[in-house]
Amino acid sequence: MAVGLDKVKPENIKEEKHLVVEGMDISGHWNRMFEQRVIWDYDVEQLEKVAALPGGESLNWCYGCGKCTTVCPVDIVGDYSPRKIHRKTQMGIDLFNSPDLWLCTTCMNCLRVCPKEVNMIQIMPAVREQAVLEGTTVPPELQKAFEDTAKHGNPLGQPQRKRADWVKKAGAPAPIIKDLKRPVDILWYVGSYPSYHPRGIDAACAAARIFNALGIDFGILGIEEKDDGDSQRLAGEKGLFEMLAEQNIATFGKYEFNRMVVTGPHEFNAFKNEYPKYGADFKVLHYTRFLVEHLDKLKPLLKKPINLKVTFHDPCYLGRHNGEYDAPRELLRAIPGIELVEMGRCRENGYCCGGGGGGMWLDSFTKEHTTMRLSERRVREAVEYGADVLAVCCPFEVSRFEDAAKSTGNDKLMVRDILELLDESMRG
């Protein structure tokens, strides 16, 4: 039986036992019709439970147009969209205990098209926070990421004291601001994945070499740096986010710098939009915009042509969340030899890698509830457009897409951070 059919009152079901229309026998359930019903025929308790939460109100505003369903990246590989969430909740399904609660990557494509401004970026964290407090339905892999972040200051569970170990591999200095004992122009917040993840480190090393080649006066925080916590917040652990925000803001406050540059869009979002609510007051740039500022100086350094067809994946938290679509493309165009091709889903309608909003730590869980990983769908799209290289500028994405390229049999597709491409061209 279709979901919710049992909730239709019997007196509202019209059905002729024997009916022939224009020679067609449509007896019985073939001619079944339902009386129109009013909203109060449903038990709206579940919907009210969500709408009562601070941040959950807007779920009630949905009028079921379904525009979100057409753009939701999860619906493309599964059966999930904000409109469906609204409908299910309206029909009495408990979102707090549904797998649906953990599928949203907070990519924001729904909010972009929603005429009613139903804001899943607020609804999902609000409901998840309650689930996290109850502790009953949190997928174990996500819980482990929370635990590792709380214990070690990074979701990978790596030791805090090894946070700056990647510098040894850079082949270029990345001075620790504490040791410099002087103000710097740029405080570079490296981030957890570029500090620890084997493939993330490649981007950090490339950035160190590029900053040195450009003569940037910069410093890093080294072992004092902790995860920004924004994705943990969106996954429902607001307390963990607040703790990290307080610690990071205190650390930032110890040093003098003109501006901060971050490697990742999630950190960019955190420091630009969330940390100010906790007292942070500094200017932050994603590395793509920062390097575009230095393009005149950077261009002559890009000597080696990279004769490949490159397509670019817009990170949700750089593009849709913060409106930056051009800087990454300007950098790619500056590299000699590169032919930039756009995928169908790009810019404002860019697809999602699946790593946002806690998705980075829900891989097995999401896999169980979708037909394929979002990253696998995206990699296939890149191949459909004939790309040799899938270029990214979010530290979550290199490993996600590289794994997806392997698991879909598209090993030939190279996944590179823009930093790595710039570095490769620069090194000749």
Partner 1 sequence: MNIIVPIKQVPNLTDELEINGEGNNLDHEALQYVLNEFDEHALEEAVLTKESASGTVTVVGVDTTGELDGALHTALAKGADKAAKITGDFPRGTDSHTQARLLAEAIKDMSPDIVLTGVQAADDRDGQIGPMIAAHLGMPYVGVVTGVTVSGGKAVLHKEYAGGVMAEFEVSLPMVVGVQAAHQPPRYAPVSKIRQIAKTAKIDEIAGGEAAGAGSTVRRMFKPESAGHAEMWEGSPEEVAEKIAGLIRDKGLLRG
Q: Which one of 51, 53, 113, 150 is in contact with partner 1 (CB under 8 A)?
A: 150
Q: How far is the CB of 156 from partner 1 (least distance, A)?
A: 12
**In the stretch 151-190, what mask flags binding to partner 1 with x, by CB under 8 A?**
xx------xxx-----------------------------
Residue matched to tokens 């790619």? 332
Closest CA to 70 of 118, 120, 10, 112: 112
Shorter beta-carbon distance to partner 1: residue 115 or 140: 140
DSSP 3-state assignment of 176?
strand
**In the stretch 228-257, what mask flags binding to partner 1 with x, by CB under 8 A?**
---------xxxx-xx--------------
Shorter beta-carbon distance to partner 1: residue 146 or 290: 146
Q: What would the two tokens of residue 41 be?
A: 């025929």
Q: What would the two tokens of residue 132 be?
A: 């996290």
What residues form DSSP beta bridges with 330?
none
Shorter beta-carbon distance to partner 1: residue 251 or 407: 251
Shorter beta-carbon distance to partner 1: residue 128 or 272: 128
The H or E element spanning position 178 is helix 177-180
Q: Is 86 in the site for partner 1 (CB under 8 A)?
A: no
Q: How far is the CB of 365 from partner 1 (least distance, A)?
A: 16
Shorter beta-carbon distance to partner 1: residue 242 or 342: 242
Q: Which of the residues 129 through 148 are near partner 1 (CB under 8 A)?
A: 129, 132-133, 135, 143, 146-147
Q: How far is the CB of 400 from partner 1 (least distance, A)?
A: 24
Q: How far is the CB of 171 from partner 1 (least distance, A)?
A: 24
Q: How far is the CB of 312 from partner 1 (least distance, A)?
A: 36
Shorter beta-carbon distance to partner 1: residue 26 or 53: 53
Q: How far is the CB of 104 from partner 1 (least distance, A)?
A: 19
Alpha carbon of 342 to those of 30, 204, 310, 312, 397: distances in Å? 47, 26, 9, 7, 18
DSSP 3-state assignment of 182?
coil
Shorter beta-carbon distance to partner 1: residue 160 or 371: 160
Residue type, 57: E
**In the stretch 368-387, what mask flags binding to partner 1 with x, by CB under 8 A?**
--------------------
Instruction: Give the Cα separation of 248 and 167 in Å (integer).
Output: 21
Task: Give one word for 153, left, alpha or beta, with left for phi > 0 and alpha for psi -120 to 50.
Answer: left
What residues form DSSP beta bridges with 312?
391
Shorter beta-carbon distance to partner 1: residue 134 or 330: 134
Q: How far is the CB of 327 from partner 1 (least distance, A)?
A: 34
Instruction: Give the Cα separation of 161 and 211 in Å (integer).
Output: 24
Q: What would the two tokens of residue 241 be?
A: 């986010």
Query: What is the chain's alpha carbon radius of gyration, rounded to the nearest angstrom?
Result: 24
* Strand 309-312 to 257-262 pairing: unpaired
CB-based burial, 123-155: b 16+ in 10 Å, e otherwise: bbbbbbbbbbeeeeebbeebeebbebbbebbbb
The binding site for partner 1 (CB under 8 A) comprises: 129, 132-133, 135, 143, 146-147, 150-152, 159-161, 237-240, 242-243
